[in-house]
Each structure stands twice: as C-alpha cells, then as structure tokens.
A and B are shown apart, each in its own frame.
Chain A
Amino acid sequence: MTWGGRGSSALRPGFGWAAPATVFFVAFGILPIAIVAYLSLTRWNGQGSPQWSGLENWRALPDDPDALNGLKVTFLLTLLTWLIQTPLALLLGVWSAGRQRSRAIMSTVFFLPLLLSTTAIALTWLSLLDPNFGLAASLGGPLGNLLGSPDRALYAVAFVISWQFVPFHMLLYQAAARQIPVSMYEDAELSGATPARQFLAITLPQLRNTVIASSVIIIVGSLTYFESILLLTGGGPGTATRVLPLHMYVKGFVGFDMGFASALAVLLVAVGTVLSVLIVRSTGYHKMASDREGYL
C-alpha cells in the first residue's frame, strides 16, 4: 500500500511501469496459451502445417476414457497431496518456529528434500520401492508391491511428491508462525491456556492466510506434477497414475497428436484457473486484509 492509498488514484504509478512485465507476460504467458488454443482446433502431427479441424478434438475429448481417467487421477492426487502435506507442514513449521534446542538441527534435516532435484528424488524412491530389488522387496506384504499395484501406486506417488514438497510448505509456516506477536501467547499463558489450546486459538487463526497461500500452491502445483510420475510409474500400472499432464505428454510427444494434446493443455489451463479463483474467492484471500497488530 505504499504506492498511493485508497481514493488517491492520482498517486498510482503510470502504466509505463508495468510495461516490461506486461511484455514478458504477453510473450511468455498469453501468446503460448493463444497458440495452444489455436492448435487445439487443428489436426497436426508436426509434419507440414496444421490442418483446421474445428471442434473435432474437443468433441473427441469426452470419448477418450484416458482423458477422463486423467482428470479423475489428477483430482485424487491433488486431494491426497493436500491432505498429507497441509497438516504435516503446519505442525512441522510451527514446531520449528519455536526455541527448542534440537530445532536447528532437526529443521535442517527436514529441509533436505528441498535441496534435491525432482529427478534425483524420484529415482531414489524408485529404487527403494522396487518390488523385486528395493527396500520394499524385503518388507513384503502390501508394502512390498506399491508401484506394481493399480490400487496402491497412486498412494505411493502422493507420498513421494509430499515428501519432496513438505519442507517448502514447512518453511512458509515457520516464517508465518514467527510473525505471530509473542504478546498474544503471553496473554494466553496468564489466562492458563494449555499449549494445545494456544495452538488452536492463536496459532491456527493467525496462520489462516498462510494456510490458504500454501493450499493454492499445493493445489495449482499438483496440476503440473509430471516428472516424478513419469519416472516412478510412467503413468502405470495401466493408466492408474496417468495424470492429465502426463496424458497430454503421451498424446503430444509419443503419439504426435498435437491437436488433441493442445485441447488437453487448454483444459488444464482452464481447470487450474478455475481452481485458484475458486480458492481465492471462497476464502476471502483476495482482500489481502492483514490481521497483524497495528495494521488496519
């Protein structure tokens, strides 16, 4: 709010300031989307020029069982990763914001997955979960065959993805928890509130915006999960873990059906936009009102 307050439109910066960002956004954001939207109305395998085919690809979309399945798997995976990551990251973040002696060391350990590349993480877990030669093989039972079972593979994928991203969200929560004024806790303590009560009555409400921000990142991010799944299961067994982005890849870059793949891409953009708008609207996050002491 430093750039001019409410009702003082004369003090707003001119459009010129936004020009570089706008140019970049149009060139690398809007234009590719427009091109993909055009391609979704064509038939093209990369040879020659795209042939206009009208709504053919869009009409074929509901008939493609793998696209529908991809949508279902994507939503399931989004839900699973949100359910795993949010409580874990919240608890770890709040804990690591405290002043315990072990905090620094433990936080560093929890933080480690964030330093590894997605490929390294996926390949490591692929070896660990290998039902024949990995750690999983010696566990046996249902845990012995996670990646090879159509019923369990998605959970394994959700687990690996969560393992990778929990530290990032933990960091968000840690930073936010540190911002909560100590005076609130001192007050609560004087009134005899237990730590659990303090967490529910002070920490959680104060972290509300962080929960929303982290959820948006998890949910919108989950629409682009790709390389972990490609490396862990390749979308299998069958199509049990073939999320929509992976299906788009198979259609576009294995089958060279660029038109249909573009239709899937447009669908993904639409789903992502709708989801983030929904979350932001329904939570009042767009008002960006601060809960902090001293700011109104």
Chain B
Amino acid sequence: MGDYVMRTVRLAKVVVCVTALAGVIASSGCGAVLGTAGPAAGSRNRIQVWALQDPQNQPIIEDGIARYNRSSIISAELLTFVNDAYKQKLQVSMGSPNPPDVFFNWGGGNLAQFVEAGNVVDLTTRLRRDADANIFLPNVMAVGQVDGRQYGLPMNGIQPVVLFYNKKVFADAGVEPPKTYDDLLSLVDTFKQRKVTPIALPGTQGWTELMYLEYLLDRVGGPQKFADIAAGRPGAWRDPAVLQALTMCQELAERGAFGKNFASINYDNTGASRLFATGKAAMFLMGSWEYTSQASNNPEFVNSGNLGWVPFPQVEGGAGNPKNVVGNPSNYFSVTSASAHRDEAVDFVVEMTTSKEYITALIETGQVPAVKGVEKELAASRNAEFALFTYDMVKDPKVAFTQSWDQALSPSVGAELLTNLQKLFLSDITPEEFVSAMEKAK
C-alpha cells in the first residue's frame, strides 16, 4: 500500500501493460534495455536520486538537493516516476549495472529483497557516529531496518490508518463514534436501518480491505502475530488470532458493513471518498492521507467541520495494546552499494532528511514528519488538530507501528494476500481456505 499520491494514477497501469512485454524481453540477458536512462553509475558524475512523482514532496526534495549542491563538490539530481512504473523500473535497475545512487522505497519486505541481494548500503555505523542524525521516532526507524541494521531513513510524513467518520451522519442518527468493536457492529446495524452504507470500502483494491485485517489482528493478538508471519515462521498464518481476525473481517462484510456493491468501488478515482463526504457512507477506514485528499477534493466537507476521526476501536479481551497503529510508518531513502559516490550519497541522504529546513517544509505541507519533539511546530501548522492527533498516535515509543502487510511482505506474497482478501470479503473463500492459500504463497 502506498500513500495517496501513489494511488491516484490509475492510468499509469495501462502504460505499464504496454511496457510489460518489453520488460519480459529485456529481462533476459539484455536487461540494459530498460536501464538506459543514463551512463553507468560508475561513470556518472552526479548523485542520481530516484523518487516518486508527487506534487507535495517533489519540491521539498528539490530544495534539499539545491541546498546540498551549494556546498558539495559533487552535485545531486532528482529523477521522478509514477508509482507502479517506479516499482518495476526500480526492480529492474537494481539488478542491472546501472542503478540510481539514492532511491525512494517503502521499507519492509520491499527494501529487504534489495538488501538480501547485497544492493543497499548499511547506514548503521554512520548514524552511530553522528548524534545529530538521531532524531527519528524509533518505531518508524524500525521499518527501515533489516536484521537490526539500518538501511533506510524516513523521508516523508507518517501515515497511520485512522477511522474517519461523517459527523453530520452520526448526529442525524444520534450516535457516537465507536470505542469498541461491539460499538462498531451495532453502528453497522443502525446505519443499515437508516439506508446509509455504514462504512465506505473501495473493494476493487485489496489494500483497502487489508487495513481491517491489520487492525483486527493487532487488537486480537498483538503485533507479534504479524511479526511472526513477516518472519516466515511456520504455522504463523494458522494462529488462532489470525483465524479470528479473518472471521471478523468476513462477518463485517456479511453483516452489510460495506454495502452491497463495495467490490466495484475504487479509491483512485475518489469514489469511496465521495460516498463518505456526501453522507452516503458514515465511516471510512483509511490512511491519514485521506485528510489531505478530502481537503482538496471536498473542501466544504472539511471546512464545515463534519470530518471526524478516531482511532480504530478496541476489541474486548484482545491481547493487543488498543493504542497500536498500522499503516505506512514513512517512505525511506536508501543508498545503493553499486553507487560510484557511496560516501557522498550517504552524506546527502543523512544531511537532507535530518535538516531543519527539510522537516519544516514537510510540516508546512501538512505532513507529520517521523521526528521526535515536533509538537510545537505541528501545533502552529495548518490542519494542526489532525496533525497532532496522528503524531500523538505514533510518538509513544511503547506504541507498535505495524507496516502495511503488502509492503512488509515480499511482493509475490503481498499480491497473493490482496487477491485472497478480496475473495474473503466476498465470501468466495472461508478464513480456513485463506490460511491454506497463504501458507502456500512464497
């Protein structure tokens, strides 16, 4: 699961399918075909930085690069790509003799596969030497680690998943937002009677359904249950807590929590966001980027104060800390081992992401950086109320921040997970069959 901007460009997938065949051809023996963006890394005289096309973060990175270039011998340059094309381009180029020097990534399993191939620079010693660089929230840093070593540094805001609710719809029904899972179930019944879809769910995209499973498993069994899955422990999928969380997901869908046509609703074309903003749906479980998205797509809804938010409800008797969060801790910058300017590239990444200017710029765009002690700056920012809410969710070091599973797992297992989730929500398969299918995935 990526952030909002990454999800917006549905058309990119069409472009991707055209390049798909080319990719298959180029992949064997002539891998250079797709990697011909410039001269080989060894002969390049610049630090090439790859990131996503993103109107919010691109200018911040560009400013960071400009500041670095003013004082450095070697200069850095930014290349940007759309989300899905980027994943494929990165995958191919990391295996080629011509990778970027610095690359944007999602941490977790996505980063781990590059680390395991020996393609990423270990930043641990560099960070130990440099006390000024020790500014990030530890639970966010954890996702940039592989086997206890730091390979990525947080480069944008935290994006926890939040339960948004439409205050007007709730007031009309005379109800309060849910504190417990049972509250949520009774709200589902209430809104169904009132002919309002209880929760908007863009079911064409499995990652939106994944958020329920992530939260429910954390509430029922705690973060270790997924950590076991991510570590590939035998039997981890078959844990009773996993089966219970899967059953709860299916119960929600069968109870009508998401309406009848959720399997046709899309997030990228803002279909679900519109259902929610227009009051056709009462609640929406989504990443914190939904706030910015609503503010730009449905400004009246946000300005009138009807957009409310609460943490995901607690499950009675569950083993997990009800304050735990799931979502995207951050995106990360990492350095490739094949870079001809490794030391400079490491300096660049550390200096830029920890600089005051960079962090201030993130806050100015309404993001919440994964940095300790920025309450004061956040309180002075636009959207201060929401920014502080998400920051408070995450800043406590005792709170576990579980990364979106489809990012934490390897891409092939992630793809399998999303397919099976869609089947689970449609009751095409039982929780038991889901577990069996995931045990086979590799």
Contact = CB atoms under 8 A, between A and B. Distances in A.
B24 A48 contact: no
Nearest to B29: A35
Interface of B is mostly: helix
A38 interface: yes
Interface in A239-274: 239, 249-258, 261-262, 265
A230 interface: yes
Interface residues of B, number: 52
A114 B44 CA distance: 47
A178 to B, nearest CB: 36
A78 to B, nearest CB: 20
B171 interface: no
A148 B24 contact: no
Interface string B398-442: 000000000000111111100100110010100000000100100
A233 interface: yes
B114 interface: yes
A231 B28 contact: no
Given A38-B28, A256-B91, A147 B428 contact: no
B17 interface: yes
A39 interface: yes
Contacts of A226: 17
Interface residues of A, number: 53
Interface in B7-32: 10-11, 13-14, 16-17, 20-21, 23-25, 27-29
Interface stretch (B179-187, B255-263, B325-333, B378-386): B255-263
Given A133-B274, A148-B263, A255-B412, A32 B21 contact: yes
Interface centre among B16, B426, B437 (most CB of A within 10 A): B426
A184 B88 CA distance: 60
Nearest to B25: A32
A253 B22 CA distance: 12
Contact of A234 (B84, B91, B113, B204): B204
Interface centre among B27, B203, B414 (most CB of A within 10 A): B27
B135 to A, nearest CB: 32
A87 interface: no
A65 B416 CA distance: 11
Contacts of A35: 24-25, 28-29
Given A148-B263, A150-B263, 4 more contacts: A148-B260, A238-B422, A239-B422, A255-B411
- Which 4 pairs of residues, A with B, have the shortest CB-CB distance? A148-B264, A237-B263, A148-B261, A255-B415
12 contacts: A38-B28, A47-B113, A129-B264, A131-B264, A234-B204, A238-B263, A249-B17, A249-B20, A252-B23, A253-B16, A255-B416, A261-B24
Interface of B: 10-11, 13-14, 16-17, 20-21, 23-25, 27-29, 84, 88, 91-92, 94-95, 113-114, 117, 119, 203-205, 260-265, 269, 271, 274-275, 280, 410-416, 419, 422-423, 426, 428, 437, 440
